[in-house]
């Protein structure tokens, strides 16, 4: 991997919330797989727009509205380059990745799926890539098939061709939010196409941490949320092949998405407006554009490299310190895993672990991580999850390891 030197301490200093002290202790934020912190560049872009230039987009003639439209569409162009989409028409702004998947299920799905049609998912999906398809099972009578997992938490592709036989859709995560597993996206897209299915990539955990190239993937749709990639909450992205988006019926109806409206009907706008009904999250899209600039300046390859080193350090530190008393789920090889560590520690319930870690200002997620089917496979109804990002360093991993000692003191195990 071709990487350049980055001053990671300076990166950390870009995130003002990380300077916060609670009870005299610094904040150790290890919940970025849930949602990420925001750098000054994003905060400033949003406040500057609200202070100095807030205006509607696409519909007013005064100069400030024109500037706002330019900023908004500029963010779309940045995003297009960031994921290497062919055209800005392929970048649709939504509320979040969940809405993006629902959009595909409701628009492409309703137009193309009949009773008995097969949608293939995997056992490591987030609820957002399960429930919209369950809804079509109820409404349309489609059939769901599931790619199982190997012992070490990777996709078991040994029966992939028979699972895909006759399928219309393969929808899968590029990186598990629980196991950290990075899946072979290119291979899965190729297999889907060979079977005559379209390939949908849930890239929520992938895009914030890796170089993303949707054309190299040869996928049909992909989606992710702004808030996990140092951008604001309230905005997400749906990327889709232009010819597919073009052929799809609209999802939400209203302003901005129309060509013409008469008493007896309507026509839709061109892409991407066709899928952006109503006033969009203007401030948030501009903030997301600043987030793309920020991440691009550091370089996604550098961020991936940093996180691989950090993951290796955290895995070996925790294992060396606690041995068999800590069970970390997912692959051991950091080449195929991101910086997400779900773990069981001694016999202490994850909710109690996160409470005790909070006393040391170590923020982790405890719970089912919106992946209950996967939790069932792991034999747990919850795990504790520490997830790292570009603003974390080895001292954060050490703080996690140290704070776990406190759990033993209280529970006497």
Partner 1 sequence: MPGLEDLYREIILDHYRTPRNRGELAPPAVMAEGHNPLCGDEITIYAQVENGVLVDVKVSGQGCSISQSSASMMSQAVKGKSLAEIQALVHRFKVMMSIEEDADDAPAVEVKLGDLEALQGVVKFPVRIKCAVLSWNTLLQALENAAQ
Contact flag: residue 268 with partner 1 (CB under 8 A): no
Contact flag: residue 390 with partner 1 (CB under 8 A): no
Nearer to partner 1, 265 or 412 (CB): 412
Contact flag: residue 267 with partner 1 (CB under 8 A): no
Q: Which of residues 10-39 bind partner 1 (CB under 8 A)?
A: 22-23
Contact flag: residue 63 with partner 1 (CB under 8 A): no
Nearer to partner 1, 334 or 384 (CB): 384
Nearer to partner 1, 258 or 363 (CB): 363
Region binding partner 1 by CB under 8 A among candidate stretches 80-88, 152-160, 261-269, 344-352: 344-352
Rounded to whole angstroms, the Cα distance separating 339 from 333 reads: 11
CB-based contact 120:195 (threshold 8 Å): no
Sequence-ordered list of residues with C-beta below 8 angstroms from that of 40, at least 6 positions apart, any chain: 14, 15, 16
CB-based contact 42:230 (threshold 8 Å): yes
Least distance to partner 1, CB of residue 368, Å: 4
Contact flag: residue 403 with partner 1 (CB under 8 A): no
Contact flag: residue 180 with partner 1 (CB under 8 A): no
Q: Which of residues 356-375 bind partner 1 (CB under 8 A)?
A: 356, 359, 366-368, 372, 375
Rounded to whole angstroms, the Cα distance separating 259 from 54 reads: 26
Say whether 189 is catalytic.
Answer: no
CB-based contact 179:33 (threshold 8 Å): no
Nearer to partner 1, 10 or 21 (CB): 21
Least distance to partner 1, CB of residue 155, Å: 23
The only residue of 3, 35, 381, 394 in contact with partner 1, by rule CB under 8 A: 381
The pairing of strands 221-225 and 198-202 is parallel
Rounded to whole angstroms, the Cα distance separating 389 from 37 reads: 9
Rounded to whole angstroms, the Cα distance separating 217 from 268 reads: 30
Rounded to whole angstroms, the Cα distance separating 307 from 387 reads: 10
The only residue of 66, 351, 394, 395 in contact with partner 1, by rule CB under 8 A: 351
Contact flag: residue 115 with partner 1 (CB under 8 A): no
Nearer to partner 1, 21 or 263 (CB): 21
189, 204, 363, 370: the active-site residue: 370
Nearer to partner 1, 289 or 350 (CB): 350
Contact flag: residue 393 with partner 1 (CB under 8 A): no
3-state secondary structure of 298: helix
Sequence-ordered list of residues with C-beta below 8 angstroms from that of 26, at least 6 positions apart, any chain: 18, 19, 20, 361
Sequence-ordered list of residues with C-beta below 8 angstroms from that of 37, at least 6 positions apart, any chain: 15, 17, 18, 29, 230, 389, 391
Contact flag: residue 402 with partner 1 (CB under 8 A): no
Place of tokens 């003191």: 409
The only residue of 109, 153, 232, 350 in contact with partner 1, by rule CB under 8 A: 350
3-state secondary structure of 190: helix
Least distance to partner 1, CB of residue 387, Å: 17
Please list the residues that pair with 146 across neighbouring strands. Answer: 121
Residues known to be catalytic:
370
**Would you tell me which residues interact with partner 1 (CB under 8 A)?**
22-23, 349-352, 355-356, 359, 366-368, 372, 375, 381-382, 410-412
């Amino acid at each position: 991997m071709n990487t350049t030197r980055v001053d990671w301490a300076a990166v950390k200093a870009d995130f003002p919330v990380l300077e916060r002290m609670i009870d005299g202790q610094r904040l150790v934020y290890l919940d970025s797989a849930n949602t990420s912190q925001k750098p000054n560049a994003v905060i400033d872009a949003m406040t500057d727009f609200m202070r100095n230039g807030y205006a509607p987009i696409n519909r007013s003639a005064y100069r400030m509205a024109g500037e706002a439209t330019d900023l908004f569409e500029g963010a779309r162009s940045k995003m297009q380059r960031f994921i290497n989409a062919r055209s800005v028409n392929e970048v649709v702004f939504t509320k979040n990745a969940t809405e993006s998947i629902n959009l595909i299920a409701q628009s492409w799905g309703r137009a193309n799926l009949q009773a008995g049609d097969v949608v293939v998912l995997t056992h490591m999906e987030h609820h957002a890539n399960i429930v919209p398809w369950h809804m079509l099972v109820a409404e349309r009578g489609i059939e769901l098939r599931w790619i199982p997992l190997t012992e070490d938490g990777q996709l078991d592709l040994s029966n992939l061709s028979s699972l895909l036989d006759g399928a219309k859709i393969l929808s899968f995560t590029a990186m598990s939010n629980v196991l950290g597993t990075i899946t072979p996206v290119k291979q899965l897209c190729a297999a889907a196409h060979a079977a005559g299915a379209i390939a949908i990539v849930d890239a929520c955990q992938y895009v914030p941490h890796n170089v993303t190239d949707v054309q190299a993937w040869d996928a049909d749709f992909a989606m992710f949320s702004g808030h996990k990639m140092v951008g604001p909450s309230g905005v997400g992205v749906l990327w889709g092949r232009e010819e597919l988006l073009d052929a799809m019926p609209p999802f939400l109806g209203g302003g901005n998405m129309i060509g013409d409206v008469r008493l007896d009907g309507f026509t839709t706008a061109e892409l991407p407006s066709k899928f952006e009904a109503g006033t969009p999250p203007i401030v948030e899209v501009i903030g997301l554009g600043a987030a793309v600039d920020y991440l691009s300046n550091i370089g996604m390859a550098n961020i991936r490299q940093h996180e691989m080193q950090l993951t290796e350090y955290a895995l070996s530190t925790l294992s060396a310190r606690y041995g068999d008393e800590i069970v970390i789920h997912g692959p051991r090889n950091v080449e195929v895993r991101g910086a997400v560590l779900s773990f069981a520690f001694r016999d202490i319930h994850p909710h109690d672990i996160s409470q005790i870690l909070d006393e040391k200002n170590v923020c982790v997620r405890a719970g089912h991580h919106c992946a209950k089917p996967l939790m069932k496979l792991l034999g747990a109804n919850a795990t504790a999850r520490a997830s790292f990002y570009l603003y974390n360093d080895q001292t954060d991993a050490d703080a996690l390891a140290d704070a776990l000692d406190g759990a033993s003191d209280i529970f006497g195990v």
